[in-house]
Chain A
């Protein structure tokens, strides 16, 4: 098994932190929308997961997003950023991380447009996070759950497009720095 490069780990740590902090930063703005829709959330997670998608698609190593999600869950527990999930909060990080890795791996041979691919990856990850939150905490009625998941998917798609733009701009720079794994495009 190849060792992680130091610059890869630094970039992943940066994305982990951005993912955690961004959720808090956009919280008030996201609440304006979710309050209007009368749903308990679904926006912040899609935005937060964008940073895991960016790192995983730039570094291109199996398990990268899951590894980052594990770090995020430890940080979240350590800093008390557990929200309404309490001690079950790690599930809300680990499952979307796993989904990102599986989706990136599964869509790799499909020759999809990069923006559509990352939008799908981010959307599935956001929906998985929303499903975990519903299973563990919300237990929403069907109509509300559908809107909650739809909001998560839509945010995931928008943020997936943003992730694609970031990846497109950073990719040539990071390739020069040797951050990307060789042999995979």
Chain B
């Protein structure tokens, strides 16, 4: 109806814009803090952190071979895959890691999964696969598909 405004129509753009600007400012501060404090890893590399020590490994230099295994997706469906990769344990040995209880495998977007020493030592289980120049953690046969970490950048040893 002409000339009649409902409460929804009476939009005060000023208040909304102030809200957007305030949120954008907070977001910008959070983004700057995060980007400045995060550990930068050069492209095509994986960083293994063991206490104070950190070792950078070039993915291209890793002795990758064709590996096969069964992965389980979020729907519980099993699928056989074949890819280029190497056991997680071999990556840790290459970085000079000795004893450990567990490792935290962290992606570039900070998504991460914990792999226990038992799983790392179990043959045919925990692998770092190389896909399109990036590393991916695969735990073969693991029903928890959340531990499939793409774009692995760092491995923190505990």
Minimum CB–CB distance for A137 against chain B, Å: 6
Within 8 A of A (CB), among B53-109: 74-76, 107-109
Residues of A near B110 (CB, < 8 A) are: 38-40, 138, 140-141, 144
Q: How many A-B residue pairs have CB under 8 A?
A: 112
Q: How many residues belonging to A are interface residues under a CB distance threshold of 8 Å?
A: 44
Report the minimum CB–CB distance from A54 to chain B (whole Å). Answer: 11
Q: How large, as a class, is the contact surface on chain B?
A: 35 or more
Indicate if the CB atoms of A114 and B74 lie closer than 8 Å.
no
B6 touches which one: A35, A138, A185 (CB < 8 A)?
A: A185
Query: A39–B27 contact, CB under 8 A?
Result: no
Partner of A119, one of B19, B31, B33, B37: B19
- Find the A residue at minimum CB distance from B108: A38
Contact of A116 among B15, B30, B38, B76 (CB under 8 A): B15
Known contacts A85-B74, A150-B23; can you find 14 more A-B pairs with CB under 8 A? A38-B108, A40-B107, A40-B110, A86-B75, A86-B76, A113-B11, A114-B10, A143-B30, A146-B34, A154-B23, A157-B20, A157-B23, A164-B8, A164-B11
Q: Report B's interface with A, CB cutoff 8 A.
A: 1, 6-13, 15-16, 19-20, 23-24, 26-27, 30-31, 33-35, 37-38, 74-76, 107-112, 145-146
